[in-house]
């Protein structure tokens, strides 16, 4: 598919494990005229992920894979071939991809993380930021490499931590920024 801008639209897959609010914002973005990507596949590590509902709402194919098993990644690669998937966006995806898989998609996997990396890699980011009396936290979109939350940073957004901030209020504030940051980071990767 080529849009009127003349760019070739890159086919992508979004990987989720839970609510899928970033997935929803990425789908919305992908359907605007400025988007260089289409989302052709939703991959979930969790059959109960709430975000799977967006497959039905937006008519996008969904696949559930058990990432505990090695063959899962081979099955994903076969599925990708079928749908010509060239790029992957991790959006609340809570599993760790193998080195082999990441190498196959070098420079083609992006992730969003709810902290100002390199601070607070891994889980429970908001509570850890509060425990350390940080004045700011935020979110980061980065390329995925074989070390957890350590690939090259594409874009970050800082969020101020208020006096009576709780882990939940901070998560909500940061999530709202994530929804804007991920599309911006994609445009940046495509030099748009």
Active site members: 113
- In the bound state with ligand GAR, the residue whose beta carbon lies nearer, of 7 and 155, is 155
126 binds ligand GAR (CB under 6 A): no
| Bridge partner list, 114 | none
CB of 138 closer than 8 Å to CB of 174: yes
Give the interface segment with ligand GAR, choosing from 13-21, 30-38, 102-110, 161-169 (CB under 6 A).
13-21
Q: Which residues have C-beta within 8 Å of that of residue 78, sequence separation ≥ 6? A: none
Which one of residues 91, 110, 141, 181 is an interface residue with ligand GAR (CB under 6 A)? Answer: 91
- In the bound state with ligand GAR, the residue whose beta carbon lies nearer, of 1 and 149, is 149
Query: 38 to 57, contacts with ligand GAR by CB under 6 A?
Result: 51
Write the CA distances from 167 to 53, 65, 117, 161, 173, integer angstroms.
26, 30, 18, 10, 10
**Nearest-CB residue to ligand GAR?**
92
Q: How far apart are CA 23 and CA 54, in angstroms?
A: 8
CB of 117 closer than 8 Å to CB of 137: no
Q: And the tokens for 102?
A: 């990441």
Q: And the tokens for 190?
A: 């495509």
Interaction mask 134-173, ligand GAR, x per CB under 6 A: ----------------------------------------
- In the bound state with ligand GAR, the residue whose beta carbon lies nearer, of 46 and 72, is 46
20 binds ligand GAR (CB under 6 A): yes
How many chain residues are in contact with ligand GAR, going by CB under 6 A?
14
Q: Which residue has the tokens 């889980």?
A: 123
Give the interface segment with ligand GAR, choosing from 32-40, 65-73, 98-106, 108-116 (CB under 6 A).
108-116
Q: How many CB atoms lie within 10 A of CB 34?
A: 12
**Nearest distance from C-beta of residue 156 to ligand GAR, angstroms:** 12
Q: From its phi and psi, is residue 110 left (phi > 0), alpha (psi between -120 and 50) or beta? A: beta
Residues forming contacts to ligand GAR in the complex (CB under 6 A) are 16, 18-22, 51, 91-92, 112-114, 175, 178
């Amino acid at each position: 598919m080529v849009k009127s801008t003349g760019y070739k639209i890159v086919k992508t897959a979004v990987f989720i494990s839970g609510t899928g609010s970033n997935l929803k914002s990425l789908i919305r973005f992908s359907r605007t005229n400025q988007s260089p990507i289409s989302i052709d596949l939703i991959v979930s590590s969790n059959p109960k992920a709430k975000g799977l509902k967006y497959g039905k709402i937006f008519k996008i194919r969904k696949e559930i894979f058990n990432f505990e098993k090695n063959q899962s990644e081979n099955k994903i690669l076969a599925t990708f071939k079928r749908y010509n998937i060239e790029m992957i966006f991790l959006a609340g995806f809570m599993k760790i991809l193998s080195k082999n898989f990441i190498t196959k998609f070098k420079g083609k996997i992006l992730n969003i993380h709810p902290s100002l990396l390199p601070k607070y890699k891994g889980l429970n980011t908001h509570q850890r930021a509060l425990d350390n009396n940080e004045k700011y936290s935020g979110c980061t979109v980065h390329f995925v490499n074989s070390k957890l939350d350590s690939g090259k940073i594409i874009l970050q957004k800082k969020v101020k931590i208020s006096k009576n901030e709780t882990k939940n209020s901070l998560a909500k504030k940061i999530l709202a920024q994530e929804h804007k940051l991920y599309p911006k980071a994609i445009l940046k990767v495509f030099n748009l």
